[in-house]
Amino acid sequence: MIVSLGLTAPIRADDIDAWTHLAAVRGGLTAASPLATDFVQSYTPNGFSVADEESGVLAMRLGGDSSGVEECLRWDYEEPFPKGFLLCDRVAWTWNPGEESGRRHLIARSDSFGLDLLRLSINQLRGAYVATVTSRAGDRVEVELTPTSTTAAAEIRDAALELDARERRLLSLSYHDVEGNLTRFTLGDYRAIDRPELVFTPPADVVWLEE
């Protein structure tokens, strides 16, 4: 919702529809959480046509606004080089399998807008972005997010989410940072996590160095 000169601008039907789709997918992921999915991450620097690619497994544990669940995301990169990244709330752990030490640090809000597109509730996203349906193909819906808050706009120029409206799943997430670099996550089949207490806990055999 954009307010100018004390008047509320009309909201287009596509904008309402975009938030409806986003809320349904967020609700579906939360209800089925914790989940894991294979991913391919690509990074294309501004001005280049060839992307660097990495792949692995993404695990997510999501909760509602009042659920009390500690929300976590974990990336286990497998190709081309193995590495791990776990984020719970605003604490992040990074490590390389086989090494004795890893890094633990707090992530500032300004450092995590790409991550927060996966973690923030719909109400929080509404406060920072305008959402618009840009394409439809059967059950596939693509939604574009354009920053409205100055804080979000300082980190992200635009973002796009491809959704499966029937299965209520996220198929891909991409965003341009303010320098024009493009990061894209393409997600595969989702599956349940049997032992979440192991997945969302940093490795016990690593010495954590504070940053």
Q: Tokens 């391919």 map to which residue?
A: 40
Mean pLDDT, range 150-165, rounded to an integer? 89
Q: What is the reported pLDDT for 109?
A: 57
Has residue 173 been placed in a domain? Answer: yes
78 in a structural domain? yes
Specify whether the backbone of 115 is left (phi greater than 0), alpha (psi in -120 to 50) or beta: alpha
d(CA 168, CA 30): 10
Is residue 98, in this structure, part of any structural domain at all?
yes
Rounded Cα–Cα distance for residues 172 and 38 (Å)? 11
pLDDT at 112 over 80: no
Inside any domain, residue 122: yes
The amino acid sitting at 138 is G
The pTM of the full predicted model, rounded to 2 decimals, is 0.84
Average pLDDT, the chain: 86
Instruction: Check residue 89 and give its pLDDT.
Output: 82
Q: Is residue 6 part of a domain?
A: no
Q: Is 189 inside any structural domain? A: yes
Q: Is residue 209 part of a domain?
A: no
Q: How many domains does the chain have?
A: 1
Please give the residue that has the higher pLDDT: either 203 or 117: 203
**Which domain covers residue 173, as residue numbers?**
12-203
Share of the chain above pLDDT 90, in %: 67
Closest by CA position to 117, among listed 60, 190, 55, 45: 60
Is 188 within the bounds of a domain? yes
pLDDT digits 0-9 by tens, 12-56: 445 568 999 999 999 999 999 999 999 999 999 999 999 999 999
Q: Is residue 80 exposed (0-12), middle (13-18) or buried (19+ Cβ within 10 Å)?
A: exposed
CATH, residue 23: 2.50.20.10
Q: pLDDT tens, 113-154?
A: 566 788 778 888 888 899 999 999 989 999 999 999 887 788
